[in-house]
Amino acid sequence: MRDHFHIKLTDDTIREISSIGLAHLGDAVYELLVRAWLCEQGKATGKGLHRATVEMVKAPAQAARVERILPLLSEEEMGVFRRGRNANVHNIPRNASRSDYQKATALEALFGYLYLQNKQERINELFDQMLGEEE
């Protein structure tokens, strides 16, 4: 049986994926982390859980948290982040500025990239740093 949680792609194949494609995957990775963290924190109640998730995954919240990890990124990770930030995105939600949305897209691209590289430990390190005092 194929392991769909740990896809094996070559570095060249991963580099060929567009920034939007990486962000698409990274959005799901980030949301899964947030949902799991909220459940772990005991915030697993119907509407409250959904609202808390939305609050943490919306672009302005991601943009604020991403500032905590920028100094920790390797050169390679920073390259992926910049690529994601410069992605040509047309539809920006009303609740986000262009700058916040670009940072959120960059973060999601980075998480998508790290996921495809099977670097879950690194994703966890960065996510922990992003949460900071909230834990």
Two structure tokens written together for 59: 């672009």
Task: Check: CB of residue 123 under 8 Å from CB of residue 111.
Answer: yes
Q: Alpha carbon 109 to chain centroid distance? A: 7
Sole residue written with tokens 């609740």:
95
Sole residue written with tokens 């990770």:
77
Tell me which residues are annotated as active site.
27
- Give the integer Cα–Cα distance in Å for 106 and 109: 5
